[in-house]
Amino acid sequence: MRGFVLFAAMGLALVGVGVFQSWNVALAILNLSLISAIMALGVNIQWGYAGLFNVGIMGFAALGGVAAVLVSTAPVGAAWAAGGAGIGLAGVLLAVTVGAIVFARRWLHGLARKLATIALVVGGYAAVRMAYDPAVGAIEAVDPARTGNLGGLGLPIVLAWAVGGVFAAGVAWVIGKISLGLRSDYFAIATLGISEILIAIMKNEDWLTRGVKNVTGLPRPVPYEVDLQTADWFRDLAASLGQNPVVFSGIFVKLCYALLFGLVLLALYWLAERALRSPWGRMMRAIRDNRDAAEAMGKNVTARHLQVFVLGSAVVGIAGAMLVTLDGQFTPGTYNPLRYTFLIWVMVIVGGSGNNAGSILGAFLIWFVWIEAETAGRALMSGLVDWLPQGSALGAHLLEAAPHLRLFLMGLILLVVLRFSPRGLIPERTRG
């Protein structure tokens, strides 16, 4: 009941923005809220179900973005011809090296094991670099202003959403293997570090995703405004609704996105709820609430943690691919942990950790506040500036600084909720 009222209020707030500001803004907020809600769902699966404090959300979201680029852009034939073989060789050499290290560590002991590991790391690194460097140089030399990378598969971008989930899951498996044994705050620091490394790789490996040169103009799963404006059926539709076709085409495209994102969110929500109510979900909560007792009952805690970490990260990866789809571009330079990791965390804590509906509500609410706080902050500051003498330097500075008010506000909201309502807006139901 409480959840229903809160969601209704949230819907009203969005309608309010539509009526008083513009429907374009309202729908833009709605779309990003839907994507944020999926990310929050992923975080909730890790934190709410299993108590994993993962602050590497940004990295998994960006992996989804990489998937979008690799699936949807057209392949660059010349680059493949120039360096495809070299990259392939480097990949094979890397795999061989890793395999050899694993093999050596399994079958050798004592000093021989250490020496073999060191020799393999050094030798493997040199061999990989020898294949990799010329190939990268060749690929990046192919039409660097427009491509300079290998390109993608040229498939519909919607497929990338699933691929993004798979990418994130794969990387999460490796990360989880290494770092899930760590205590909670070490795990947090490890995931924070990994997300920074993932972004660094995306910024630097130009042959893969063009790095900081960005990939723009990704294909869309929905029609383009320009095409709509010239299509007869659309002009008729706009006319019958009494709308200006140019303005309405923007709204229509956003509605299409909202529909797609909403479907994905509903599907994932349904799956997440099913999982939470299943014996598996009960076991996860048992592990979260009393790890030692669960272990004594014969539950394999590390394996369960790895499982839930991979699942949650996959959900974040899906959302990351959707985000890049909505933007139509992949810009590794814009990923920032405050926005892509910690803001999502604020959403989950505020909404109610352990409750999927709560996380979704939190995502809507926090994203709404994040966007509207900028407008409100500017209004507040210009109100303040009116009291100051005309053209004062302080006034100009305050106006310029207004957008940063929202960071302060986010921290405040998080702290207030954590203190006075630590279970969030829609608390977890304790009876499973």
Integer Cα distance of 40 and 312 in angstroms: 9
Residue 409 binds to another protein (criterion: CB under 8 A): yes
Q: Which of 157, 144, 158 is nearest to 79 (CA)?
A: 144
Q: Least Å distance between CB 431 and another protein?
A: 23
Phi, psi of 244 (to 5 degrees): -70, 120
- Give, to the nearest 10 degrees, the angle between helix 245-277 and helix 301-327: 170
Residue from 63, 218, 315, 346 that binds another protein (CB under 8 A)? 346
Q: What are 153's two structure tokens?
A: 């598969």
Phi, psi of 330 (to 5 degrees): -115, 115
Phi, psi of 382 (to 5 degrees): -70, -30
CA angle 143, 149, 155 (to 5 degrees): 115
74 or 412: CB nearest another protein: 412
The residue with tokens 């920032």 is 336
What single-letter amino acid sits at 209?
Answer: T
Whether residue 311 contacts residue 43, with contact meaning beta carbons closer than 8 Å, is answered with no
Residue from 103, 133, 295, 388 that binds another protein (CB under 8 A)? 133
Residues 172-201 close enough to bind another protein by CB under 8 A: 178-179, 182-186, 188-190, 192-194, 196-197, 200-201
End-to-end CA gap in the chain: 18
Residue 342 binds to another protein (criterion: CB under 8 A): yes
Q: Choose the binding region for another protein from 21-29, 73-81, 146-154, 412-420 (rule: CB under 8 A).
A: 412-420
Q: Least Å distance between CB 301 and another protein?
A: 16
Q: How far is CA 173 from the centre of its chain?
A: 17
Residue 102 binds to another protein (criterion: CB under 8 A): no
Count of residues interacting with another protein (CB under 8 A):
46
Q: Choose the binding region for another protein from 227-235, 274-282, 313-321, 342-350 (rule: CB under 8 A).
A: 342-350
230 or 334: CB nearest another protein: 334
Residue from 109, 419, 430, 431 that binds another protein (CB under 8 A)? 419
Residue 337 binds to another protein (criterion: CB under 8 A): yes
268 or 369: CB nearest another protein: 369
Residue 411 binds to another protein (criterion: CB under 8 A): yes
